[in-house]
Amino acid sequence: MVLMMDSKVNKILQSLTLEEKISVLAGKDFWETVSVQSKGVPSIKTSDGPNGARGAIFTGGTRAACFPAAVCSAATWNPRLSRRVGEALAEETHTKGACVLLGPTMCNHRHPLGGRNFESFSEDPHLTGKLAAQVVAGIQSKGVAATVKHFAANEQETERLSVNEIVSERALREIYLKPFEIAIKEANPWAVMTAYNKVNGFHADSHQFLLKEVLRGEWDWKGVVMSDWGGTNSTADSLNAGLDLEMPGPTRFRTYKAVKEAIMNREVSESTIDDRVRNILKLIEKVGGFENPEIPPERSVDDPKHRDLIREVAGQGIVLLKNDHDVLPLKKEELKGKKVALLGLAKEALIHGGGSASLHSHYRISPWDGLRSTYGDDVQFKFAMGAHIYRLLPPLSAHCTDAEGKAGWTLQFFEHGKHGKPVQTTHGHKEAAFSALGGFESKFRDLQLSTTFIPPESGSHYLGCSGLGPTIVTINDQVVFHQKGNCEDAMAFLFGGIPEEEFNYSFTKGVSYQIRIQTSPPEGGNDQGGILAGLPGFRLGFMNASKHDEDLVSEAVDVARDCDYAIVFTGHTPVWETEGQDQLSFNLPKDGSQDRLVDAVASANSKTIVVNSTGVAIAMPWLSKVSAVLQAWFPGQEAGNAIADVISGAVNPSGRLPISWPKRIEDSPAYGNFPGIKKDGQLTVKYDEGVFVGYRHYDRLSQDRVQFPFGFGLSYTTFSLTGGRVSQSSSGVFTANITATNTGKQAGATVIQLYIGRAQQSSDHPIKTLAAFQKVFLEAGDEKQVGLKVAPKDFAYFDEASGEWKVDRGRYEFWFGQSTQQVGDVVSVDIEGTRVMKL
């Protein structure tokens, strides 16, 4: 089969002219590759993303299934579920006419404020690699290419297009490259996407060490390397390093003229061009593009099997963090006739984070819907919002009239810098906002949005404004807002994450106000523009002061006081936790309002339960006051049903934290080195913590610095681990055996976590490192013998001096635990001799 593929690919390659070869090295448009129809080369379509196949439209497009975010999937610690998720994602990809899925995302959680952490699995490279490998295997078993991303060290969103990350080779090898290495060697993904950032001074898309020496050299990987969207930064350098495909199209760096000139100047060879093209043709072959060259239209297929899988994964991923006096579960028969307050974000379905992970889901089950469906009319539920959670004021839309006297705004396009006659005018634009992706016909054009606003009431109102480029807002020809430069991050603007400074303006009821917004595309090179360079965008938020300053807590407290139980739903909406911007604070938004809500409700009701939906750890200043806490993550479109399953006891929680949960942000390992220091226009972040990321760091601190340790999670039953023993085969592989027992009164599951570390601790090495794990399901009173296989490579370290992986001679401890701090048994093993290996 391989020989036949190579023969077909080589035949097509030999038939292509140089110009045709160069044309396929970049995308045709936002999602598709270039075709050469006369030579039998079809276009193939890609699609976001890591937790569902969205299709071509960013917002409001074809409906799709929304799966739990990777961090929620990781909390299951269940590779079998990851494999099934991969298979389902491939089926979803086919419904969108695509054959390349841009996922999974698998960079490590370096810092709790990482804006895109939710999209990745864990702080631990072993857990990430093992789960991601199963997702990849599942995707590709259905003939769809998985694209592991972002290679490499893409752990922050702040100035992500240009930030320079200084990382030691040991930390790169052991922490940041290790997940990719595991996935590549165990599942062979057909595509890898490079990161936006620089690593040790070089952009990832043209990084000789990462792409040529490690990925294609040491790991002997043969697939397609594509850029992140807008993440190509050179012509010859990226080609020589191994970047096959520039995305999206049309090309910026791989025009025929630019590449031909590079060849003429001997900056790149024609054989290198052939190598790049060959890889793309092989990918087309793998996904069946030559046999089925037509790209079918997108379809919305709401598969019941996918519904069930999403609910199962979410249920296993929800982590019970606290359960004083066994307040949970709230069993249906015991709750009959009771009153329950559902507060905060109870009517919000927090199913995904913002950015590439967002999609138009088939449906969204909120906790309010899920709990009412579960308990029916036997329980009286009461609701109060209790906190302001908006990040941006909603765009001004009501009571506005355009130039034709119709509801809405008049939108005009002008040639850039020429505000004479507009080149295009649209009436009836519904609100004071324009997305850069609303239409590429706006590229390199200035925009003006105007309306007549007649307020329905007098008094002070709040306004909030922002633009991609220079923006001016006038009311009755008076300038009320002037943004002179570009926004900090164009993609963050697109995903609703740019913070806006609110200001007051007093309106009089019934009086006409002429409001005009003028904006231009970002000026200069705009390193933060990326794929949005040259595109304008703006928004004008608006809210009445009485609503803006409304006291919501008092009502929630009154409701809670009147109920038998109070469940407060907290978390991040997609604009608060999103691609394009790191978290503003370790505390829940907005401005502490959610923390104040929980604290006040807990003071009013002794049976207060918190259900938190974030992809990251958060501060919990109210933890000692509440009875129970569930971490629900972003659990996909079945969110409310999965949460209700755990609260009601239909599902016994078995989720375990894939991250460490510090009490204070100051105790996190990268504190002081995130998001970096800017000097002479260059943001640089030093990974000075080295390999001591996550629990590797917290293990060296006193336990009172950690709110919840890595691997932690409670159950409605209890487990014990006993009788640990370790043996080693002649091949060097260790077998670690342990007995797991369900010591409680109902069926449940625990995760056996095997950590390995030196008996004699060293400041140069972590105290222990996760080397193997297995999720075990047991009936009440049952026990099971579990054997875990561990190769020396699973706990080796990278020795920079020799450039090799090593396990030093000496005594090692094998820790059998249910978290890094809940250890059931420890077995000491003498390892003779120094073992040196290439992974």
Q: Which amino acid is at 196?
A: Y
**CA distances in angstroms from 792 to 242, 395, 503, 800, 839, listed in the order given:** 31, 57, 60, 18, 10
pLDDT in tens, 114-156: 999 999 999 999 999 999 999 999 999 999 999 999 999 999 9
Q: Is residue 156 part of a domain?
A: no
* Packed helices 367-375 and 639-648: angle between N→C axes, nearest 10 degrees: 50
Angle (deg, nearest 10), helices 270-286 and 2-15: 130
Given a cut of 80, is residue 440 above it in pLDDT? Answer: no
Of 692, 710, 728, the residue at which a domain comes to its end is 710
Give the pLDDT score at 435. 78
631-651 mean pLDDT: 98
User: What is d(CA 708, CA 370) in angstroms, rounded to the nearest whole number?
Assistant: 28
Per-residue model confidence as pLDDT tens digits over 241-290: 999 999 999 999 999 999 999 999 999 999 999 999 999 999 999 999 99
Tally of structural domains, the chain: 4
What residue has token string 């023993």?
Answer: 725
Q: Dig out the tokens for 820 from the structure.
A: 């890094």
Q: Given pLDDT bands bounded at 50, 70 and 90, which one contains residue 438? A: low
**What does each C-alpha distance from 774 to 78, 447, 786 come to in angstroms?**
7, 57, 8
Mean pLDDT on 307-315:
98
The mean pLDDT value of the chain amounts to 94
For residues 656-667, give the mean pLDDT. Answer: 97
Residue 244 within any structural domain of the chain: yes
Alpha helices in 210-303 (DSSP H): 236-241, 256-264, 270-286
369 and 416 share one domain:
no
Asked whether residue 16 carries a pLDDT value surpassing 90, the answer given is: yes
SS3 for 624? helix
Supply φ then ψ for residue 672, to 5 degrees.
90, -15
For range 49-72, the mean pLDDT? 94
Give burial (CB, 10 Å; 0-12/13-18/19+) of 327.
Answer: middle
**CA distance linking residue 183 with residue 169, whole number of Å:** 20
Query: What whole-number distance in Å separates Cα of residue 659 and Cα of residue 661?
Result: 6
Does position 101 have pLDDT exceeding 70, yes or no?
Answer: yes
The two tokens of residue 633 are 């993550």
The answer to whether 327 and 628 are in contact (CB under 8 A) is yes
**CATH number of the CATH domain containing 752:** 2.60.40.10
Cis amide linkage into residue 367, ω under 30° from 0 = no
Is the CB of residue 688 less than 8 Å from the CB of residue 673? yes
Mean pLDDT of 637-659: 98
> Residue 529 has what pLDDT?
57
Retrieve residue 497's tokens. 């994450």
Residue 242 lies in a domain: yes
- Does residue 44 have a pLDDT over 90? yes
**pLDDT, mean of residues 480-485:** 93
Q: 424 and 380 in one domain?
A: no
**Position 78 in a domain:** yes
Is residue 301 in some structural domain?
no
* Average pLDDT for 585-594: 95
- Asked if residue 336 and residue 236 are part of one domain, the reply reads no
Same domain, 408 and 539: yes
Predicted confidence band of residue 491 (pLDDT cuts 50, 70, 90): confident
Residues 603 and 542 in one domain: no
Question: Can you give the pLDDT at residue 3?
Answer: 47
Give dist(CA 660, CA 663) in Å, integer: 10
| Residue 703 shares a structural domain with residue 748 | no
Question: Is the confidence at residue 2, as pLDDT, over 70?
Answer: no
Any residues with CB less than 8 A from the CB of 615 and at least 6 apart, and which?
A: 69, 71, 72, 117, 118, 119, 353, 572, 577, 633, 634
CATH number, residue 686: 3.40.50.1700
Written as one letter, the residue type at 542 is F
Instruction: Establish whether 228 is a catalytic residue.
Output: yes
* Interatomic CA distance for residues 456 and 815, integer angstroms: 67
Contacts of 21 (CB under 8 A, 6+ apart): 13, 273, 274, 277
Residue with tokens 């001096």: 801
Q: Over 780-819, what HEC string results?
A: CCCEEEEEEEECHHHCCEEECCCCEEEECCEEEEEEEECC
Angstrom CA distances, 165 to 202, 231, 591, stand at 9, 16, 30
pLDDT digits (tens, 9 = 90+) for 177-230: 999 999 999 999 999 999 999 999 999 999 999 999 999 999 999 999 999 999
Cβ 346 vs Cβ 570: under 8 Å: no
Which stretch of DSSP H or E encloses residue 193?
strand 191-194
- Percentage of residues of the chain with pLDDT beyond 90: 88
240 in the same domain as 199: yes
Same domain, 445 and 515: yes
Same domain, 54 and 32: no
Confirm whether 10 is domain-assigned. Answer: yes
Place of tokens 């598969």: 303
pLDDT, position 797: 96
Q: 838 falls in which pLDDT band (50, 70, 90)? A: low
Amino acid at position 393, single letter? L
**CATH label of the domain that carries residue 514:** 2.60.120.260
Q: Say whether both 704 and 566 belong to one domain.
A: yes
- Which domain covers residue 773, as residue numbers? 717-837
* Same domain, yes or no: 655 and 694: yes
Coil, strand or helix: which one is 420? coil
| pLDDT for the residue 839 | 47
- Give me the mean pLDDT over the 727-743 stretch: 95
**Axis crossing angle, helix 304-317 with helix 639-648, rounded to the nearest 10:** 50
Q: How confident is the model at residue 497 (pLDDT cuts 50, 70, 90)?
A: low
Q: How confident is the model at residue 524 (pLDDT cuts 50, 70, 90)?
A: low
Task: Give a yes or no: residue 195 inside a domain.
Answer: yes
Where is the domain boundary, 256, 286, 316?
Answer: 286
* Closest among 294, 345, 253 to 99, alpha carbons compared: 294
Q: Is residue 392 part of a domain?
A: no
Q: What is the DSSP letter of 544?
A: E
Three-class secondary structure of residue 605 per DSSP: coil
User: What are the phi and psi torsion angles at 43 (to 5°)?
Assistant: -80, 150
Average pLDDT of the segment spanning 743-765? 97
Q: Which of 124, 205, 228, 582 is catalytic?
A: 228
Rounded to whole angstroms, how far apart are CA atoms 494 and 501?
17
Based on the fold, state whether residues 372 and 463 are members of the same structural domain: no
pLDDT, mean of residues 684-695:
98
Q: pLDDT band for position 444 (50/70/90)?
A: confident
Report the distance separating Cα 390 and Cα 388, nearest Å: 6
Q: What integer pLDDT is reported at residue 496 of this predicted model?
A: 73
